[in-house]
Structure 1
Amino acid sequence: MKQEPSYIEALLPILTLVGLLTMNVFFFEDTLAGSNQVALLLAATIAGIIVRRNGQAWARTMENVVSTIGSAMPAMLILLLIGSLAGTWLLSGIVPALIYYGLDIINPRVFLITAVVVSAIVSLATGSSWSTIATIGVALLGIGKAIGINEAIVAGAIISGAYFGDKISPLSDTTNLAPAMAGTDLFTHIRYMLYTTTPSFIITLLIFLVIGLSYNFSEAVVDVANVKSAIDGAFNTSPWLFLVPLILFVIIIKKVPPIPSLMIGTLLGGVCAVLFQPHMVSEIAGNVPNYAEASYIGFMQAMFGDIIIVTPDADVNELLHTSGMAGMLDTIWLILSAMVFGGIMESGGLLTRLTQPIINWADSTGSLVASTVVTCIFFNTTASDQYISIVVPGRMFRKSYQDKRLKPEVLSRTLEDSGTMTSVLIPWNTCGATQSRVLGVGTFDYLPYAFFNLISPLMSILFAYLNLKIRRYELDEIPVEERIN
């Protein structure tokens, strides 16, 4: 006979996971490359033993695991397409053009706001806050220091912009992961996030404007000039390339589903590569004499594999590199492992038992959102990984949001506002440790100035308590496929 788990039994797999993930931070440089996935599977093993010991049949557990993995399949397909889109947009010169023309808006008199905006543009185009900070961010930091601004303030501006772009970019892995955990689609998630993200970003810009006006600026654009020169020497940059992201933006606004939208964006990127960058396509294809053959090879390589553009500037080279679909496999592996862990925890009633005290306290929408935010920050602090801070709370709170008739985008927005945004504020989190090392600025030094990251979780809580833009199901509106038994 199946028996209910005790609170200690429900907590044991979580403690095991936290312990393993913490050790991974110390022993592995890239925890996403496999160690965190194994940690999830080992924690799932502990959960499976507890569930089996409590009398649940193994077949029932596996059935729930398979069902849980199935729910994440659309997100994994989208991630593969995002990898291919990033590849063709790089090869075509679309991403380099966005960076090239984005750098033109730099004006020393409003440097801090410019740092936020440029970082946001690059991160939005690439879907990666990490590569943005490691390349353009480093150049911006050097400029800021040269004109006399405290490097911690400049770092806060760069991080604020980079994480804003990462947060709303359809190319970002966390932006895809959050709706997958909550049970909504990518573009619904992005559109709904704008309600809290927009005021947070505006407040951030205003704060940096006030800070920036107290400084005297001087011209110091050598690093930016080098970046632009490197891009201009490698690509045929043209404003016509902006048509592709514009078309994709229109497609998104028209609510075309994510998978066909991203495929259209990928194909348009491939067409632009053939038309605008024939020298680059030929080089990627190994300089085969037949351009039709080179076009096919270059397009396929951009979709599935590594594209590395070499320029005289080593920092720019770091930005001009994608891995296509193959580059998304570690994230997909993480999702699969997390779904195994979450499926076992859920099927055995461990998540329900673990979250019951929190749920009992969270008797309103505001307190439920606040509990989610605190839980995400807890996992960012203890598990030291932003993916875990989205995956585990997403599985823990999904049913609670449904029970209160809250639509899944409310949960996905809360996960992103808190899990993604606070990861870079924890020194021992993979994000905090990486950005601190790349910028050469201590995490606790830039933390007070990472205004967007600090404001975002508070804005999510404020909207919930004020009942602003909170989407609810009608009593008979919850789709059958969204009901969790």
Structure 2
Amino acid sequence: MADENSERRERVLRPPRFWQALIPLVFLVVALALAITLYGEDAVYGPVQVALLLSAALAAQVGYFNGHTISDLTKAAVDSVASAMGAIFILFSVGALIGTWNMSGTIATLADWGIRVLNPDFFYVAATILCAVIAVSVGSSWTVMGTIGVALVAVAEGLGLSTAMAAGAVISGAYFGDKMSPLSETTNLAAGIAGADLFKHIRSMMATTVPSILITLGIYLILGFRANPAGGIDTPEELNDIEALFNINVATLIPLLVVVVLALRKIPPMFAILGGALAGGLLAIILQPDVVRAFVDDDSLGTPLVMLKGVWDAMATGYVADTGVEAVDDLLSGGGMESMLNTVWLIITALAFGGIMNHTGFLGKLIEPLRKRTKSPRGAMASTGSTAIGLNVVAGDQYLALVLTGNVFKEEFRKRGIAPQTLSRQMEDTATVTSVLVPWNSCGAYASGVLNVTTIAYLPFAFFNWINPLISFIYAAFGIAIQKTEPGEGAAPQLAEASFYGVSGQDAEEVPEDGSKP
């Protein structure tokens, strides 16, 4: 402790310069471009993590040059990663859920019924609407993607449809519902940071969000009619293979019901999803004992230990089906906490970089030119959206993007007489929905991990997440739906100016006065 205090006394903290903030950012852009060029979609399985970690080290070196201590820089990185531990535990819970749901027949039942009932022409539209309805009800895009989203991607694979497009439909519906739900963490956070009434915020979002989802549904309808299913599980023989392996009936959907009920009762997502995973394991023992025995394949153990080991293995490393039919085995295998390790690796390296960039004040310095050029309400809207998207890319976390953007521009909106719900809407139209399009953002990494489709693959097909920010920028350019209030009214800025520019990096993690917490 004495050494740390003496180190702080000896070093003089200098304010960051713009060119210094650009050094780690330019390095990251070049490194990511090289990683994608060399490895393509496989870049997220290691090369991107290396690029992020090297960029974090470079940012720390520049910060050290400006007077920040090694201990403080290290703490900033660690604290930033620590802020995502809740997300990491959710990821592990989803991995366990997918493993037990595969073994219990939950996903097999949804896939079997979906393949038999759903018309491929309307699949993408149906998937979007279903995810939107459930997300509005439970208020969590992550819960929807990690449960019904997994099953819908499996159904698309069984129908011979594009899993990347199916993932895009799941994400579009999940994010629409998440945005419009009063139970959503991001909806409450955006309103709280901007100082807006929650329901005024939701009504304000309808101006951009409803047209966005209608256009999205129209695109999916056209693509559905033009789809040419191939290579799917579309024959009675292959469907019979599923029914021969699993006991297909409505009882296998109990784990899904468990998750929905727990989510509606506002149980934290990790516990709701983990409850669904345990329900899937218990159901596998009751309804699919032969499946569990075949999976464990160890005659030396008695029945109770075989059942226990089967559930344990499914939660840890995932379930592997063995029907002898490749398409069926691919459909019904996967999951396990182990399958999420690469996603966790990506989140850790991204947030370490974002934490150091925030602590050193580099993020604030990069945003400063946008704030200074805000000369009108239209410019304020455009600058807010650009900042939010940029922070999603650089900071790697949607909550940080929402908090920093809101606190940087809230005073500008107040001075110009723009209603706080207009600011909160612009933040959600850009920060919330684009987070899932960035591979190293915690949301993009999560979606890719649970849906088993790379971010680069589903990115072109998550139409709602492209169209919504595009419409918000069009509205900004033409001054549409910019609600006004009396100049000087509105909530005071949430964070002190100094904290945003690097004097206290942890202050950027503060939550709104209503007590909502990411």
Distance, in Å, in 2 between the alignment partners of 1:270 and 1:211 is: 37
Distance in 2 (CA, whole Å) between partners of 1:332 and 1:422 is 15
In the alignment, the residues of structure 1 paired with residue 108 and residue 146 of structure 2 have an alpha-carbon distance, to the nearest angstrom, of: 10
Contact conserved, 1:127 with 1:169, CA < 8 A, in 2? no
Q: 1:110-147: CA deviations, max 9, x gaps? A: x4323443588799576698997698358444xxxxxx
Shift of 1:207: 5.0
Task: Name the CA distance, whole Å, in 2 between partners of 1:287 and 1:165.
Answer: 43
Shift of 1:39: 1.0
Aligned pair 1:272/2:283, yes or no?
Answer: yes
Instruction: Give 2:121's aligned residue.
Output: 112
RMSD: 4.8
2:396 to 391, 394, 402: 391
Write the distance in 2 (CA, Å) between the matches of 1:250 and 1:345: 40
Structure 2, unmatched stretches of 5+, are: 1-11, 132-141, 179-183, 193-197, 411-419, 440-447, 484-489, 496-505, 512-518
Residue equivalent to 2:310: 298
Query: Does residue 242 of the first structure (1) align with residue 256 of the second (2)?
Result: no
Contact 1:86 1:322 in 2 (8 A): yes
Determine whether 1:483 maps to 2:510.
yes
User: Cα offset for 1:275?
Assistant: 1.0
| 1:212-291 equivalences in 2 (<5 Å) | 223=234, 225=236, 227-288=238-299, 290-291=302-303
Distance 2:492 2:252 in 1: 47
In 2 relative to 1, CA 182–249 (structure 1 residues): closer, same or farther, beyond 3 Å?
A: same
| Structure 2 residue 477 is matched with structure 1 residue 466 | no
| 1:24 and 2:35 aligned | yes
Change (3 A) 1:112 1:287: same
Q: Which amino acid aligns with 1:248?
A: V
Contact preservation (8 Å) 1:302, 1:324: yes
Listed as ranges, the matches of 1:86-125 within 5 Å are 86-107=98-119, 111-117=120-126
One of 317, 320, 327 as aligned partner of 1:315? 327
1:417 corresponding residue in structure 2: 433
Summarize the Cα distance change of 1:210–1:88 in structure 2 as closer, same or farther, 3 Å threshold.
closer
Secondary structure at 1:28 match in 2: helix
Give me the whole-angstrom Cα distance separating, in 2, the residues matched to 1:177 and 1:25.
32
Give the structure 2 partner of residue 38 of structure 1.
50
CA distance in 1, matches of 2:227, 2:331: 31
Report Cα offsets for 1:160-207 as digits up to 9, x if no partner. 42443675899xxxxx9999x9999xxx9xxx8997777644443345
2:390 maps to which residue?
Answer: 375
Shift of 1:318: 2.2
Q: What is the rounded CA distance, in whole Å, between the counterparts of 2:256 and 2:227 in structure 1?
A: 36
Say whether the 8 Å CA contact 1:369–1:460 is kept in structure 2: no
Q: What's the secondary structure of 1:322's corresponding residue?
A: coil
Deviations 1:343-370 (A, max 9, x none): 2111111111011122344676743552
| 1:281 Cα deviation after fit | 0.8
Render the CA deviation track for 1:45-99: whole Å, top value 9, x for unaligned: 1111111111122222222222222211111111111111111111111112111
Given candidates 352, 357, 370, the residue that maps to 1:345 is 357
Aligned equivalents of 1:454 and 1:474: distance in 2? 30
**More deviation, 403-412/282-291:** 403-412
Distance 1:39 1:222, change over 3 A: closer
1:302-339 deviation line (CA, Å, top 9, x unaligned): 11113211234323322322241111111111121112
Classify the secondary structure of the residue corresponding to 1:296: helix
The equivalent of 1:136 in structure 2 is 156
Please state whether the residue corresponding to 2:273 is helix, strand or coil: helix
Residues 399 and 207 (structure 1 numbering): CA distance in 2 closer, same or farther, change over 3 Å? closer
Retained in 2: the 8 A contact 1:285–1:297?
yes
Amino acid of the structure 2 residue aligned with 1:400: T
Q: Distance between the aligned counterparts of 2:176 and 2:356, measured in 1?
A: 31
Alpha-carbon separation, structure 2, partners of 1:169 and 1:73: 24
1:238, distance to aligned residue in structure 2 (A): 0.9
One-letter code of the match for 1:76?
I
Tell me: CA distance 1:462–1:321, structure 2 relative to 1, closer, same or farther (3 Å): farther
Indicate conservation of the 8 Å contact 2:145/2:171, yes or no: no
Give the deviation of 1:249 after TM superposition. 0.9
Structure 2 vs 1, CA of residues 130 and 432 (structure 1 numbering), >3 Å: closer, same or farther? farther
2-side partners of 1:292 and 1:183: how far apart? Answer: 51
Query: TM-score, normalised to structure 1's length?
Result: 0.71
Q: 1:308 aligns to what SS in structure 2? A: coil
Kindly tell me: are residues 476 and 322 of structure 1, through their superposed partners in 2, closer, same or farther at Cα, counting changes over 3 Å?
same
The 3 A distance-change label for structure 1 pair 216 and 262 is: closer
**Amino acid of the structure 1 residue aligned with 2:43:** T
Amino acid at match of 1:414: T
Counterpart in the other structure of 2:195: none
User: Contact 1:4 / 1:54 at 8 angstroms: preserved in 2?
Assistant: yes
Counterpart of 1:144 in structure 2 is none
Counterpart Cα distance in 2 of 1:81 and 1:155 = 23
Amino acid at match of 2:436: T
Are residue 164 (structure 1) and residue 172 (structure 2) matched?
A: yes
Contact 1:98 / 1:121 at 8 angstroms: preserved in 2?
Answer: no
Distance in 2 separating the partners of 1:334 and 1:270: 29
2:90 partner letter: I
Look up the equivalent residue of 2:270 and give its one-letter code: I
Deviation at 1:233, TM superposition (A): 2.6
The alignment of Structure 1 onto Structure 2 pairs a total of residues equal to: 427
Report if the CA contact (8 A) 1:183-1:482 is conserved.
Answer: no
CA deviation after TM superposition for structure 1 residue 371, in Å = 1.3
In structure 2, give the amino acid aligned to 1:283: A
Q: Name structure 1 gaps, 5 residues minimum.
A: 142-153, 171-175, 380-387, 424-428, 436-442
Counterparts of 1:434 and 1:157 in 2: how far apart (Å)? 8
Per the TM alignment, residue 287 of structure 1 is displaced from its structure 2 partner at its CA by 4.0
Q: Which residue of structure 2 aligns with residue 151 of structure 1?
A: none
Q: Given that residues 132 and 319 in structure 1 are in contact (C-alpha distance below 8 angstroms), is that contact kept between their aligned partners in structure 2?
A: no
Secondary structure of the 1:4 match is coil
Q: What fraction of aligned residue pairs are identical, expressed as a percent?
A: 25
The answer to whether the aligner puts 1:205 opposite 2:217 as a matched pair is: yes
Kept after mapping to 2: 8 A contact 1:390/1:416? no
